[in-house]
Amino acid sequence: MSQSPLAIEKQFLESAREWICDGYALDVRYLATKQDGVFQIIDASLTTTPLNEVEPVGFSIEVGSLVAGQEYFRSLPRDVILARLEMAAQGKISANGLDLLLLRNSNSSYYSEFPMRDSWLFNLHLQARGEKVQPSDAHVAVSIDQELRRANLPFDGLIDLCGWLNLTDSRATGQEPAINMRVSTPVAVMLGESKLDSNKLSVILHAHPNFDTSTISLAINEFPGVGLNSRQQVGHRVTWGSVKKGRRIGRLRIHLRNAASVHAVLSVGTRTAMRGWINDPNKAVNVRYLATRQFDNDLEKLRQTVLEASESRKFEKGIASLLFLLGFSPTQHIEEDAPDIIVASPKGTIALVECTLKVADFPKKVGKLVDRRNALLRTLEANKHNLRVDAFLVCSIPRAQIATEDSLLSRQKISLITREELVEAFEQVRLPRDPDQMLDAAYARLTNEHRFAGLGG
């Protein structure tokens, strides 16, 4: 049973109050059109994060009836951020001296990406949806592109501007205009710095210096373990140090009994913040991992290829290698007019994978996935084979920087894999995985995607 729109909004705001503290940063981005003196939102986002090390440069641009821009606040009081989120949930944004409005009917519409039960990172998300904005005439769109190219802060047309802001021109795509709000967790387990060695577990946590760390809980479960005794809450055993370089460091050191890996789950307040694996590299039992690690120490080259990719071909090759480590049988076709990767699971399920380094390539990649999957399904049907073909779009960009909605991809039955999932995949490769179970979980998410969307009053 889906949640009501008001329940989705209430849950998001309650959790935001638990997570946000004084000193959070706020990044506001918007794309709007001026109609009868009102700035009507086409797409917008509010992202609030702790521990920002890079400060974006804000700007505002107005060409014809179009207004767009970004305003960044490095540090704001908690109450100010919460008030802005509450206003945004009602369809109102203030940025760069402008008051922007999301036109809505009496039935409020909300969507939330949270919770997906098998996610690894649980940043808060709320999307407020409005009424569709009338598309502009073709000649007006061309005129705006021309003006943007001549502006003091030039962009190569509206597509380039949207790409910079990570927003979408909903008029062109037929989507509903929306405001996406995201809140990042104030505490994180630093999986890359945490270690497990000969049953000695060392966990490193980073927290915003103003956050009350007494509200966190940290659960661990060791594998293979010793039954129920392997499960324990250890948040109260974390030792928190003084603030250094804008963050408070927490450390946990604990002796375990039978651990090749440890599953850690961090909760902040009443909400899960993140999950992850900490593995003992000397106790790996995945033969694929052992074989690959023999020629790539600690998978350093593969990690760099996948997570710091700058060349599409190398990225595709890296994703294929990662899929091999996870237990799949991947292949890259010699023919150019083919998916980037074709994957087979042990039980024979086929998946098509397209890889990209650019959000701007999403529409093209989605179109290819849909066409190629349909063609393959027709072939399988003609040969009386299994009629399920999964489709995945893989990118190395963080989910928060992607304007494309998961719900839009799910309508095409395409699973989106972002940087967060890729990082987590590397944490799982030391132990054997069940590829069919992973595909089934992704398929279940697609079929159940609208459980958390409130579509009406």
How do residues 432-453 score in pLDDT, each as one tens digit? 778 988 898 888 877 764 333 3
Q: Report the pLDDT averaged over residues 95-118.
A: 78
- Give the model's pLDDT for residue 343: 94
Please confirm whether the linkage preceding 115 is cis (ω < 30° from 0): yes
Q: Give the max Cα distance, the chain.
A: 70
- Give the model's pLDDT for residue 405: 57
- Give the model's pLDDT for residue 399: 78
Where exactly does CATH 2.60.40.10 map onto the chain? Answer: 187-283
Is pLDDT above 50 for 304? yes
The CA distance from 273 to 191, in Å, is 13
Q: Report the pLDDT averaged over residues 109-116.
A: 71
Where exactly does CATH 3.40.91.70 map onto the chain? Answer: 287-455
In single-letter form, the type of residue at position 165 comes to L
Give the length of the chain: 457
- Give the model's pLDDT for residue 106: 64
C-alpha neighbours within 13 Å on the C-beta side of residue 423: 18
- Which residues, other chains included, contact 166 with Cβ-Cβ below 8 Å and sequence gap of 6+? 29, 45, 359, 401, 402, 403
The CA distance from 281 to 8, in Å, is 41
By mean pLDDT, which of 97-101, 270-274, 303-307, 411-415 is the weakest? Answer: 411-415
The CA distance from 164 to 410, in Å, is 24
Confidence of residue 118 (pLDDT cuts 50, 70, 90): low
The full DSSP string for 222-266 is EEE--GGGGEEE-GGGPEEEEEETTEEEEEEEEE-SSEEEEEEEE
Average pLDDT, the chain: 87
Is pLDDT above 60 for 65? yes
- Give the model's pLDDT for residue 449: 45
Confidence of residue 457 (pLDDT cuts 50, 70, 90): very low
Token pair 């090759």 is at which residue?
317
| Rg of the chain over all Cα atoms, to the nearest angstrom | 23
Confidence of residue 2 (pLDDT cuts 50, 70, 90): low
The CA distance from 328 to 32, in Å, is 45
Q: Report the pLDDT averaged over residues 263-272.
A: 94
- Give the model's pLDDT for residue 268: 95
Is pLDDT above 50 for 123? yes
Token pair 């049907």 is at which residue?
381
Q: Which residue has the higher pLDDT, 35 or 393?
A: 393
Bridge pairing between strands 216-224 and 231-233: antiparallel
Is pLDDT above 60 for 418? yes
- Give the model's pLDDT for residue 241: 94
- Region of residue 123 (phi > 0: left; psi between -120 and 50: alpha; otherwise: beta): beta
- Give the model's pLDDT for residue 403: 61
Is pLDDT above 80 for 431? no
The CA distance from 316 to 355, in Å, is 6
The CA distance from 300 to 337, in Å, is 31
Helices (H), 20-119: 78-89
Q: Which residue has the higher pLDDT, 16 or 290?
A: 16
Please provide residue 108's backbone torsions phi and psi, each rounded to the nearest 5 degrees.
-65, 140
Is pLDDT above 60 for 26? yes
Confidence of residue 1 (pLDDT cuts 50, 70, 90): very low
By mean pLDDT, which of 173-177, 312-316, 338-342, 369-373 is the weakest? Answer: 173-177
Q: Where are the strands (E) in 64-215, listed by range?
A: 66-76, 92-95, 98-101, 109-111, 124-129, 178-183, 187-189, 195-197, 200-207
Instruction: Find out whether 418 and 404 touch, Cβ atoms under 8 Å.
Output: no
The domain made up of 187-283 is a member of CATH 2.60.40.10: yes
Is pLDDT above 60 for 36? yes
The domain made up of 287-455 is a member of CATH 3.40.91.70: yes
Is pLDDT above 70 for 129? yes
- Give the model's pLDDT for residue 136: 73
Q: Report the pLDDT averaged over residues 121-127.
A: 88
Nearest to 219 by CA among 257, 264, 254: 264
Confidence of residue 121 (pLDDT cuts 50, 70, 90): confident
- Give the model's pLDDT for residue 107: 67
